Amino acid sequence: MVANLYDCMGLNPFQTGHCDLTLGFEGQAGKQDSDIHALRRGDTDKVSSPPLGQAVITVGPRFQVATLSGTGIIGSRLDATTQPRCGPAMPLSDGPFIFSDILDYKNLREIVVNNNISWLVHYSAVLSAVGESNVALAKEVNITGLHNILDIATEHGLRVFVPSTIGAFGPSSPKDPTPDLCVQRPRTIYGVSKVHAELMGEPDVSVFCQYYHHRYGLDFRCLRYPGIISADSQPGGGTTDYAVQIFHAAVKTGCFECNLRSDTRLPMMYIDDCLRATLEILEAPADTLISRTYNINAMSFTPHSLTQEIQKVLPDLKVTYNVDPVRQSIADGWPMVLEDSAARRDWGWKHEYDLPELVQTMLTHINTGNQVAQAY
């Protein structure tokens, strides 16, 4: 949710009389009512998962912002992140809600026009592991959906943020560390679609992209996220899901079966750092951005090192390994460490959570959530 996101930035276009929209995936037909009730209760993790990139849109009364897939692990936390910086934020439950589809260009365009939108924050995507099991869906949502957003943005002079991922790199990329500019060549449809998004937005990569940038003045911004860890939402089908699931299992059962090898080292980040980085790249003056796509990094760990850190707090945790060959193959092609000196230099990026802080924070949040649930 981005109710006060741009107000707190002091960006002049976002003034009273406009509105923000938060778009999140809709569930199967007949689930709209239950999804809306879940949103109003604040249970964003209970909103149905998407069959075809459909979206639920929350319309608020104040700002010109549209956030697509706003009920996902990142989008659903934007509202909470902005509150300390902006004062009281409008909760997701304020609605009203509109169901739309990332593939329905005409409807998305109408929403942008009718609500006087000037920023699009585009989180809609089918993630790595799910994408490999349904390539056709991933192409539709990740590529066709992206083109809808870019075309609407250029037609109406909007600014666009599209997240990328460690999945945008492949087996031939340098792994330790992985720089901003290097050979990418991913081997998943998720990664391919993210490289496509990066190249569409960069001003100096190809003649076509120069046309988008210079002809339309498209203000495009992109961050390559590591694996994002949050206690608030259930994982959504990514290769790094184990790094969230292990915390819930550690608290609830004391046992966890990991689907990656114990020595699989990958870049990770706590959700609060991720959201702060997103706010900072959106706030950054355009003339400070040497690039439009940046790596951001916080920590890197293996399942074994994460287990050891959790066991300092919960020594009885037992972890076994049952490697999923599909997810392991994906992880083996990804970076071990993201090199992010450009982000730190150009717009002052600095992470706050390392592995010990991550473990303490996650276990505290999950334990607190369980206590609240038991009270009801």
Q: Supply the residues annotated as catalytic.
A: 190
- CA–CA separation, 99 vs 24, rounded Å? 9
Phi, psi of 160 (to 5 degrees): -130, 135
Nearest to 86 by CA among 56, 115, 104, 62: 62
Asked if the bond preceding 177 is cis, omega within 30° of 0, the reply is: yes
Residue 257's CB is within 10 A of a number of other CB atoms, namely 13
- Identity of the amino acid at 323: V
Q: Which of helix, strand or coil describes residue 164?
A: strand
- Rounding to the nearest 10 degrees, give the CA dihedral for residues 140, 338, 256, 320: 110
- Identity of the amino acid at 90: M
Q: For residue 38, give both structure tokens.
A: 């879940």
Scanning 174-270, the segments in alpha helix (DSSP H) are 189-201, 207-210, 216, 242-252
Decide: 227 and 266 in contact? Cβ < 8 Å: yes
Rg (CA), the chain: 20
- CA–CA separation, 128 vs 137, rounded Å? 12
- CA–CA separation, 121 vs 70, rounded Å? 9
Q: For residue 32, give both structure tokens.
A: 């709209």
Scanning 20-97, the segments in alpha helix (DSSP H) are 32-41, 78-86
- How do 227-229 and 266-270 pair as beta strands? parallel
Residue 372's CB is within 10 A of a number of other CB atoms, namely 9
